[in-house]
Structure 1
């Protein structure tokens, strides 16, 4: 790319840095009248040129010039990435509602914002990963994302970002997207409920942080009876982890009951489908689907194979909810 011309307050020609210790980000996250608590860089060959200084007010000219230059990516320093994702989280509604931004780019920005927040919530090094402040940020992000997640074209784009990775927080994001999009297909008007379930879906495995991680690296059927009992304790442990938070009842039910089955053979309560709310049945299904389609390539099923597997377990899952999930995936062209 040619050297960019001055961009008003945003051009800083001559200040350059090597293309390392940097994170690639979307140019569409620049919102006029917002201050970025991070510096932005443009790439020139193997070098980076400073485009906007930390603490600088973004202007309409910044945004227009990036479009004229055809900039595909901007860069932030690794040490500024937490500030960058916080900026995205604070401004996600404006970005997602901007129809001038391609849906794929909005999905990319959403993924950056959500993945960062989910990673914090599942950080074993923190004494209280999900504190009240982080809970409020999760609630706001899901609330601000609801309209975007209900779009048929959004799921197809989001699939590029949420299908990879075996970490708990990555699985939580995947299950949240699948559960919310499925519920939005038939109960879009009850946004408060969907937000509550979205939080439960994102945090459903938070109880696993209380257990030795090596237990979950093994196949469940190969575990000893004692270790199986430990694994089965993670839903109740998850409720305990979140006990100090002002969580809605629906969120707590999602965390506690996400391994229940229609036939009553699930855990921890052995409740049957008739005893479980529809949103819990949706979450249990989406959790199974995401588990089957996530992970290492050699053991990961395709969407079609996963749906066939779930269909064969008719007694375990709500078949009407499965039909709704298939419809959602089919509209997003994600069933093959």
Structure 2
């Protein structure tokens, strides 16, 4: 401790920053974990080195921060990726630690989810998508905390991440695509985008209630009873989330994300005008992300192959919304 670092003008990392440093919570310092980044304290207009990169965090670190009444620590912008990796590695421990205030645990979830969303945004969407596009995603995730910054919600998020890590990453990918497509024609309904974004993130949470091997086997090896179990996961998801104060649109997205334009989906077989537009978007983006991700034990397809597969399912998806998805992806590498 005691080294002073000047504030600079770093690149945008998507974090709240002062100069070239961004704020992190002191609760993120977990004893017995090595930080791949340096930590700084702010004193007046200078930044004092608190912990060196690679230093083992101890109970003494945590106790000292508590005694000092520190509200924020700072990490250099160039260490953002290392901090994000540290946060991902320790997120479950943070979410499950009830000695940490709910607000700080929710903040950890927010930061980790923003990082995953950034990866999905940069991987799935054209390089020409401007910073405002990702700023919209980041704002949506932050707004979700109005509904998710509760003990019971954080417990379900913790279980989802622990038991269904790939499902959660798939949900983030679907959320990024869904919000990007919806934003091409929904201009002034931020509350709806937040609700649908949460529905996209949580759409597969019901799968946690079923044996995981059902979703990795080939469909032609499943019995009718097993297929019926798979088809129950949207309703199971709504059951898990029903005790949380989620918007109706969120629950509709979870329940109807496997419905189809031609009525051949499940669980209700609803079709066409019976389905809200945002449900149709999430159903389409769910299918696309699953195909390019290689979900459910399938070989991952290229974006071009995935769109070709979707187009071949005549009548299953709204053609105008499919055009919007293609337009959103049009400048990406589709070969």
The answer to whether TM tops 0.5 is yes
Measure the CA separation in 1 of the matches of 2:152 and 2:72: 31
Contact 1:166 1:294 in 2 (8 A): no
Question: 1:130/1:324 Cα in 2 relative to 1: closer, same or farther (>3 Å)?
Answer: farther
What is the aligned partner in structure 2 of residue 245 from structure 1?
A: 244
What is the aligned partner in structure 2 of residue 268 from structure 1?
A: 267
Following superposition, the deviation at residue 241 of structure 1 comes to 1.2
Question: 1:87/1:132 Cα in 2 relative to 1: closer, same or farther (>3 Å)?
Answer: closer
Contact 1:166 1:295 in 2 (8 A): no
Measure the CA separation in 2 of the matches of 1:299 and 1:212: 21
Following superposition, the deviation at residue 72 of structure 1 comes to 7.5
Contact 1:238 1:255 in 2 (8 A): yes
Question: 1:218/1:166 Cα in 2 relative to 1: closer, same or farther (>3 Å)?
Answer: farther
What is the aligned partner in structure 1 of residue 223 from structure 2?
A: 224
Contact 1:27 1:71 in 2 (8 A): no
Structure 1, unpaired ranges of 5+ = 11-25, 97-102, 122-128, 138-164
What is the aligned partner in structure 2 of residue 307 from structure 1?
A: 307
Measure the CA separation in 2 of the matches of 1:35 and 1:315: 48
Following superposition, the deviation at residue 30 of structure 1 comes to 6.9
Question: 1:71/1:51 Cα in 2 relative to 1: closer, same or farther (>3 Å)?
Answer: farther
What is the aligned partner in structure 1 of residue 25 from structure 2?
A: 36
Following superposition, the deviation at residue 9 of structure 1 comes to 11
* 1:317 and 2:317 aligned: yes
Measure the CA separation in 1 of the matches of 2:13 and 2:176: 24
Following superposition, the deviation at residue 243 of structure 1 comes to 1.3
Following superposition, the deviation at residue 131 of structure 1 comes to 2.6
Superimposed CA distance per residue, residues 223-254 of structure 1 (whole angstroms, 9 cap, x where no aligned partner): 00110111111111111111111221111111
Contact 1:27 1:73 in 2 (8 A): no
Question: 1:88/1:240 Cα in 2 relative to 1: closer, same or farther (>3 Å)?
Answer: closer
Measure the CA separation in 2 of the matches of 1:28 and 1:256: 32
Q: SS in structure 1 opposite 2:238?
A: helix
Contact 1:34 1:57 in 2 (8 A): no
Superimposed CA distance per residue, residues 70-108 of structure 1 (whole angstroms, 9 cap, x where no aligned partner): 66754558558848985455679x999xxxxxx89x97x
Following superposition, the deviation at residue 29 of structure 1 comes to 4.5
Measure the CA separation in 2 of the matches of 1:36 and 1:206: 28
Question: 1:283/1:130 Cα in 2 relative to 1: closer, same or farther (>3 Å)?
Answer: farther
What is the aligned partner in structure 2 of residue 141 from structure 1?
A: none
Contact 2:294 2:301 in 1 (8 A): no
Measure the CA separation in 1 of the matches of 2:238 and 2:153: 15
Structure 2, unpaired ranges of 5+ = 30-34, 39-51, 96-103, 118-129, 159-163
Contact 1:27 1:74 in 2 (8 A): no
Contact 1:281 1:317 in 2 (8 A): yes
Write out aligned runs for 1:137-176 (5 A): 167-176=166-175
Q: SS in structure 2 opposite 1:198?
A: helix
Question: 1:79/1:197 Cα in 2 relative to 1: closer, same or farther (>3 Å)?
Answer: closer
Q: SS in structure 1 opposite 2:183?
A: helix
Aligned CA-pair RMSD: 4.5
Measure the CA separation in 2 of the matches of 1:71 and 1:240: 40
What is the aligned partner in structure 1 of residue 235 from structure 2?
A: 236
What is the aligned partner in structure 2 of residue 6 from structure 1?
A: 3
Q: SS in structure 2 opposite 1:185?
A: coil
